[in-house]
Amino acid sequence: MKYLDLLMATDWLARYYPKYYGNELMLLADDILKWFRNELPEDSSTLKYLQSLYDSPSDALRAIWKEMQLLMGPYWGN
């Protein structure tokens, strides 16, 4: 997985996937990207939640990328 691929996938989903911002997976992806870029404060509840689910930002990105590939599967070639 490339970071650029993940960003392009989230952009594509934002444009073409119905109810993109209502999807919990996409909200989680946005939070993980913030964690990866160190944009979350140390005392953030979001950061604590992500750390309880994943060992590192890299593990979180891999997991969310797999989920996004499943979501985009039928449309990825378009």
3-state SS assignment for residue 42 = coil
| 30-35-38-39 Cα dihedral, nearest 10 degrees | 40
Number of domains, the chain: 1
User: Residue 78: inside a domain, yes or no?
Assistant: no
pLDDT digits (tens, 9 = 90+) for 55-65: 999 999 888 88
The CB density around residue 13, as the number of other CB atoms within 10 Å, is 20
Q: Which residues lie closer than 8 Å to 34 by C-beta, 6 or more apart?
A: 40, 46
User: Residue 13: inside a domain, yes or no?
Assistant: yes
User: Residue 30: inside a domain, yes or no?
Assistant: yes
pTM above 0.75, yes or no: no
Domain that holds residue 49: 3-73
pLDDT digits (tens, 9 = 90+) for 7-52: 777 777 777 766 655 567 778 888 998 998 999 999 999 999 999 9
